[in-house]
Amino acid sequence: MQTHNIIPMPVQMTPGAGAFALDAETAVAYDAPALAAVAEFLAGLLRPATGLPLPVQPATGAQPNRIHFTTGADPELGDEGYELAITPTVVTVRAPQPAGHFYAVQTLRQLLPPAVESSTQQPGPWLLPAGTIRDYPRYGWRSAMLDVARHFFGVADVKRYIDLLALYKFNRLHLHLSDDQGWRIEIKSWPRLAEVGGRTAVGGAPGGYYTQADYAAIVAYAAARHIVIVPEIDMPSHTNAALAAYAELNCDGVARSPYTGVEVGFSSLCVEKEITYRFIDDVLRELAALTPGPYLHIGGDEAHATLDEEYRIFMARVQELVSRHGKRPVGWEEMGKAQMRRDALLQQWRLTPDAADHALSAAAQGAQVILAPANRTYLDMKYDEQTPLGLTWAGYITPEQSYTWEPSTLIPGLDPAAIAGVEAALWAETLVTIADIEYMAFPRLPGIAEIGWSPAGRSWDEYRPRLAAHKPRWDALGVNYYKAPDLE
Ligand code: ACM
């Protein structure tokens, strides 16, 4: 079984003899109505390149020549695990929950030749090597973040990124929806946020915002790929766009000028005014209603224009507002200065001793920690001095550096049980198009996926050729990846 090119590496693989060949008679069958969607998803994925009909139908009896989605898997596989059994006559996909079937589909597509990703018909043959795979994730939180505030990316771009995340079994997309340079989500009770705050972007680029219908379309598209949207409204700093839209949110009652630069930490909501909390409550209420996922991200980073004592009171109070809307608060690492709710998640991006203390304090209060170390997982950092896009404040990050770190030992003293998972973040000060996003994300993104999914004990020497083998797949998908010298 040529399983060595699957990313993330599955937990357990056992080779068999021969292969299952997709042909004009192959069907996709499912046992339970809840599995029809994933069966259709697989067939829809395979039809363009294979040109095969691949009819999707409820399973009857024990027909050969089918890919069979079935329940009745070992419950120990968990909500996202699956088992795949491939013989020359039948492929059986078993999972306790539909998310597991969906991840099995991602493994199946990676077992097929890269040309299967093409949108036009390719010659084949389409062979799935025989064997069995038993697989489940190490962490339940495997996210990517997209900054749509510094530059705006439309619904089609976000869907494209979601498709690429799904291939690598990510299960969260964190959307950074507001910052100094732009406000990107329609809020009906505060319409000027999008109308005025949405107009700007870094360097005078065109702004934009998602209508609530746009956002709902993103949520639905992600959900069909078992990806939960985690919306972020950054506060109390990174709020100039809101402060420009509504004068009354400023302590001095004077609207701020629109901002299109790239400095951070200069803005602050007026933490002593009650209207600030009515504003936040309204925004969180609308966002919670639009967001089926259980999380609302409230930022909290780089609040250099907010007094520490006020910051602590503010972040504690806003966590309670999130909770009142039935969601779990997520905040950047600085939120660990404040009292944390037990159901909160702290997102670690800095690794300095004081930042590490925030993670330890969060864990001691029962909160969980998401690891997004800037010097490893910030995909907007340049690869090297030649990289035309990106920033350097956290250093250059080669594909090797983004891959060779271990979550359980990243923060000394942090209980591994407090680690929710990992995030690959992509800030967009220098990124304008989806091609720019792809250039910074690939080839580093799949490595973060593997850190989030696969068991500990990785090696770059083993991973490097496996990653390089994905280049023809990215070519078939039209991904604008960086041609890393060490993958040549
Ligand atoms: C951050 O990078 N400011 C979270």
Q: What is the CA radius of gyration of the chain?
A: 23
Judge whether 12-135 and 141-459+466-487 match in fold. no
Q: 349 in ligand 1 pocket by Cβ < 6 Å?
A: yes
Alpha helices in 224-273 (DSSP H): 240-245
* Atom from ligand 1 closest to the CA of residue 347: 4
pTM greater than 0.95 (yes/no): yes
Q: 463 in ligand 1 pocket by Cβ < 6 Å?
A: no
- pLDDT-derived band at 381, boundaries 50, 70, 90: very high
CATH code: domain 141-459+466-487 is 3.20.20.80
Residue 92: partners with Cβ closer than 8 Å, 6 or more residues away: 68, 70, 83, 84, 85, 86
Residue range 242-265, pLDDT digits in tens? 999 999 999 999 999 999 999 999
Is the per-residue pLDDT at 3 higher than 70? no
Least confident stretch, 60-64, 272-276, 396-400: 60-64
* Atom from ligand 1 closest to the CA of residue 374: 2
Q: How confident is the model over 51-79, as a mean pLDDT?
A: 95
Is the per-residue pLDDT at 2 higher than 80? no
Residue range 129-171, pLDDT digits in tens? 999 999 999 999 999 999 999 999 999 999 999 999 999 999 9
Q: Report which of 362, 364, 287 is spatially closest to residue 326, judged by C-alpha positions.
A: 287
Cis bond leading into 96, ω under 30°? Answer: no
Name the residue with the closest Cα to ligand 1, atom 3.
301
- Residue 277 C-alpha to ligand 1 middle, in angstroms? 23
Alpha helices in 198-349 (DSSP H): 212-223, 240-245, 274-290, 308-324
Is the per-residue pLDDT at 42 higher than 70? yes
- CATH H superfamily, domain 12-135: Chitobiase/beta-hexosaminidase domain 2-like (3.30.379.10)
Q: Where exactly are the structural domains of the chain?
A: 12-135, 141-459+466-487
* Atom from ligand 1 closest to the CA of residue 264: 3
Residue range 453-484, pLDDT digits in tens? 999 999 999 999 999 999 999 999 999 999 99
Name the residue with the closest Cα to ligand 1, atom 1.
301
Which residue in the list 302, 309, 320, 333 is annotated as catalytic?
302
265 conformational bin, left if phi > 0, alpha if psi -120 to 50, beta if neither: left
Percent of the chain at pLDDT above 90? 98
Name the residue with the closest Cα to ligand 1, atom 4.
301
Mean pLDDT of the chain: 97
